[in-house]
């Protein structure tokens, strides 16, 4: 696969590292206007860097766009006459619909939207993917690329906003849960570093239990809640204080906000 990453900033660099560390490309071109911090990746023999987006597009098959939303239309206009049937266009740009992309380059291209989260930098992103009609034929290819950096799920484009809340904002929600657990552990006598170690590895273990055994959270909870025991006492107190309710309400508030921002 000949991959170009157009606008290799934070996300683009994480994707580049994920693909390169798993030998997922035969060649890779990274673009941005100031090339300074990209040079380091040239240690991989297959990587080159340029500020010329047209050069990157003409030498690649898979084009992953990771620029800011305000830069995208201009760049698409800059390269659209070079697009052929060999190109797969993958956009990670938040809130930029397939219809808007098609407005610039037309519908007769393989167009895919991918919504990763920041855990992509450690190969653990939950990435949601959708495509235009033609792009359906390349969706497995896009999933294969992002599966190298975590887990993927194909969803309808209408669910992309909701997925952004659950998966991208979700990183912040889970961080706050880990932080709160850490604070509890400090109050119980652990020093801050140990407390965070206990909290984050327990969180990792809980998620891994579900992922690896295809189990349900309540089934795993039943296993650790002894009748009259300490776990059920703690859990019920958390629920009396609104744990599940506040999480659900927070998710809905984020969703309302993302829809409001889109209208503006």
Ligand X SMILES: NC(=O)c1ccc[n+]([C@@H]2O[C@H](COP(=O)([O-])OP(=O)(O)OC[C@H]3O[C@@H](n4cnc5c(N)ncnc54)[C@H](OP(=O)(O)O)[C@@H]3O)[C@@H](O)[C@H]2O)c1
The residue within the footprint of ligand X, chosen from 39, 69, 175, 208 (CB under 6 A), is 69
Q: Which of 4, 93, 101, 258 binds ligand X (CB under 6 A)?
A: 93
Q: Residue 20, annotated ligand binder?
A: no
Q: Answer whether 107's CB lies under 8 Å from 132's CB.
A: yes
Q: Name the residue with tokens 């690329």.
A: 145
Among 92, 132, 182, 254, binds ligand X (CB under 6 A): 92
Number of residues that bind ligand X (CB under 6 A): 25
Contacts 24+ apart (CB under 8 A), 127-131: 127/151, 127/152, 127/153, 127/167, 128/152, 128/153, 128/154, 128/155, 128/159, 128/160, 128/163, 128/167, 129/153, 129/154, 129/155, 130/98, 130/154, 130/155, 130/156, 130/157, 130/159, 130/160, 131/98
Ligand-binding site membership of 236 (annotated): no
Binding of ligand X by 52 (CB under 6 A): no
List the interface residues with ligand X, window 23-42 (CB under 6 A): 31-34
Q: Say whether residue 53 binds ligand X (CB under 6 A).
A: yes
Number of alpha carbons in the 13 Å side-chain half-sphere of residue 46:
17
Nearest-CB residue to ligand X? 9
- 34 in a known ligand binding site: no
Looking at 5, 6, 89, 112, which residue binds ligand X (CB under 6 A)?
A: 6
Contacting positions for ligand X (CB under 6 A): 6-7, 9-12, 31-34, 53, 66-69, 71, 75, 92-94, 115-118, 168
């Amino acid at each position: 696969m000949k991959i170009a990453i157009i606008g290799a900033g934070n996300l683009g660099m994480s994707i580049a590292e994920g693909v390169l560390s798993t030998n997922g490309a035969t060649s890779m071109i990274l673009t941005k206007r100031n090339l300074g911090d990209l040079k380091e990746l040239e240690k991989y023999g297959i990587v080159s860097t340029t500020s010329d987006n047209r050069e990157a597009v003409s030498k690649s098959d898979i084009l992953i766009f990771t620029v800011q939303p305000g830069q995208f239309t201009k760049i698409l206009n800059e390269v659209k006459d070079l697009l052929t049937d060999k190109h797969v266009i993958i956009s990670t740009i938040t809130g930029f619909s397939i219809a808007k992309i098609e407005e610039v380059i037309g519908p007769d291209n393989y167009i895919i939207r991918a919504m990763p989260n920041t855990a992509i930098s450690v190969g653990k992103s939950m990435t949601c993917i959708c495509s235009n009609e033609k792009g359906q034929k390349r969706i497995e290819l896009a999933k294969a690329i992002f599966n190298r950096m975590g887990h993927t799920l194909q969803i309808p484009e209408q669910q992309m906003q909701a997925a952004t809340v659950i998966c991208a904002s979700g990183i912040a929600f889970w961080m706050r849960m880990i932080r709160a657990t850490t604070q509890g552990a400090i109050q119980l006598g652990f020093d801050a570093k140990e407390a965070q170690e206990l909290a984050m590895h327990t969180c990792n273990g809980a998620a891994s239990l579900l992922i690896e055994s295809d189990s349900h959270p309540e089934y795993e909870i039943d296993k650790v809640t002894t009748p009259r025991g300490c776990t059920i006492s703690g859990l019920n107190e958390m629920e009396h204080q609104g744990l599940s309710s506040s999480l659900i309400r927070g998710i809905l508030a984020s969703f309302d906000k993302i829809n409001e921002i889109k209208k503006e």
